[in-house]
Amino acid sequence: MVTISSPLAPTEERNPRTYDIDRLPTMRILELINSEDATVAGAVAAVLPELAEAVDRTVDALRSGHRLHYFGAGTSGRMAVLDATELRPTYGVEPGHVVAHLAGGTTALTDAVEAAEDDTAAGASAAEPLTGGDIAFGVTASGGTPFVGGALRAARNRGARTLLLSANPGATLAPLADIHIAVDTGPEVVTGSTRMKAGTAQKLVLNALSTAVMIRLGRTYSNLMTDMVASNAKLRVRQVRMLVQATGVPAETCQAALTAADGEAKVALLTLLTRADVDQARKALRAAGGVVHRALRAVG
């Protein structure tokens, strides 16, 4: 027997603005979806203080050698997988430092494994690798996904810090989180279809959190991606272009500096901006924790 819980999560309520959406022409349907989507950025803006605190805790954890673990199911879990996967090529994050755990495993990336979200024990098992100082970040639109609850409870028992991202200010899992980022996106255009506004909000929050963390860890110089992994032709061109943009030096000179630095863009950047040679640049960056601005002060 299915029991309908009360009160409903905001994402499960009916949206009065879209009652007649199934009788509207295509253009009007799209206008309604677009107008609802336009409210998401404002909902995210309202939780920036909590997001900032989450960023600072994550920076402290990664800087201390600990790890960030995401836990989610369905759309929420896929958003987490996407965020974790993109950090290595974009910012050179070492394998295992940011990990996403999706209910149902890799199969659930392309095929819905809906029952997996109800498996509390699987969430707890997924959190077994965590240790004290790690960050466990649950992502769930409803704020009550059992898989995420199992993971957060187990992570907390292991001494990890816990974060929760939901679209429900009254999330039942909130007591398990040190910080609850509750983005109140309200009812969806289609009731309960959390891949829409709630999913968009999750993408915005995860993008903002991981990008801010990478910036704070020194993985950029100004707004340029210094730690990008140049694994294909397009990215190798972008790497040289980044050096040109940062220094104003011709592309040929930047390419030569990059070659001399064995492809290490930060080292090449430092040699181009100062009189340091490759060895001096490497030592300065190591002493500065990889932060270019600090290394520049050291080598003048």
Per-residue model confidence (pLDDT) at position 8: 81
Closest to 221 measured CA to CA, from 259, 274, 260, 262: 274
Percentage with pLDDT > 70 across the chain:
98
Q: 76-122: per-residue pLDDT in tens? A: 999 999 999 999 999 999 999 999 999 999 999 998 887 899 999 99
Q: 118-157: per-residue pLDDT in tens? A: 999 999 999 999 999 999 999 999 999 999 999 999 999 9
pTM for the model stands at 0.93
Place of tokens 């009360």: 6
Report whether the peptide linkage leading into residue 250 is cis, meaning its omega lies within 30 degrees of zero: no
Question: Is 31 designated active site?
Answer: no
- For the beta carbon of residue 100, count every other beta carbon within 10 angstroms: 22
Percentage with pLDDT > 90 across the chain:
93
**How many residues are recorded in the chain?**
300
Residue 2 scores a pLDDT above 60: no
CA distance 239 to 224: 9
Q: 213-271: per-residue pLDDT in tens? A: 999 999 999 999 999 999 899 999 999 999 999 999 999 999 999 999 999 999 999 99
Per-residue model confidence (pLDDT) at position 113: 83
Per-residue model confidence (pLDDT) at position 5: 52
Per-residue model confidence (pLDDT) at position 300: 67
> Which has more pLDDT, 300 or 28?
28
Residue 4 scores a pLDDT above 70: no
- Amino acid (one-letter) located at 136: A
Per-residue model confidence (pLDDT) at position 114: 77
Q: Which of 50, 117, 188, 264 is catalytic?
A: 117
> Which has more pLDDT, 45 or 111?
45
Question: Is 12 designated active site?
Answer: no
Q: Which of 12, 13, 53, 86 is catalytic?
A: 86
